[in-house]
Amino acid sequence: LARLMEQEGIARYLVSVGGALSSRGMNAQGQPWRVAIQKPTDRENAVQAIVDINGHGISTSGSYRNYYELDGKRVSHVIDPQTGRPIEHNLVSVTVIAPTALEADGWDTGLMVLGTQKAQEVVRREGLAVFMIMKEGEGFKTWMSPQFKTFLVSDKN
């Protein structure tokens, strides 16, 4: 969709398809496009971080909103392709900023499946811009790659 908009001469846009966003140009106020990353809480609009994504794509994969309950336990909708079963680790959200929304969307789910440690190894090796939220006890902790920090406007830890 972003490519089509550019072919049609549209110079400023922020478009969302299936939760992945792509941007180009500045917003109507002449500012970079800013996107909020949600906190993995029951409050739907709680903000964890804000990023400028001008000219990039962003996508988040998370197990904190999309899940089902089985015997009183939350079960993730994200399936580990090696086991064929839902993931079971403390990584609850992965946000990726990449040149395109398609790339960001591809990376976020793959990293989500890997879990925190393996995902961080891949992020470091590939030089990806990634923000992760992990469940820790009753709360959450965050981690971001150096590449992600260049997009960060605000971190609400």
Question: Residue 86 and residue 156: Cα distance in Å, rounded?
Answer: 29
CA dihedral 139, 151, 123, 112 (to 10 degrees): 50
Q: What percent of the chain has pLDDT over 90?
A: 36
Q: What is the pLDDT of residue 109?
A: 87
Question: Residue 100 and residue 104: Cα distance in Å, rounded?
Answer: 6
Q: What percent of the chain has pLDDT over 70?
A: 82
**Residue 5 token pair:** 């908009």
How confident is the model over 91-129, as pLDDT tens digits?
888 999 999 999 999 999 889 888 899 999 999 999 999
Q: Return the H-helix or E-strand segment holding 5.
A: helix 2-7
- The strands making up 57-62's β-sheet, listed across from edge to edge, are 13-17, 20-24, 57-62, 91-98, 129-136, 139-144
Q: Which CATH number fits domain 2-155: 3.10.520.10, 1.10.1740.10, 3.40.50.720, 3.40.50.150?
A: 3.10.520.10
Q: What is the pLDDT of residue 121?
A: 98
How confident is the model over 58-78, as pLDDT tens digits?
999 876 656 556 666 665 666
Which alpha helices (H) appear in the chain, and where do they start and end?
A: 2-7, 101-114, 116-126, 146-149
Q: pTM value? A: 0.85
Q: What is the residue extent of each domain of the chain?
A: 2-155
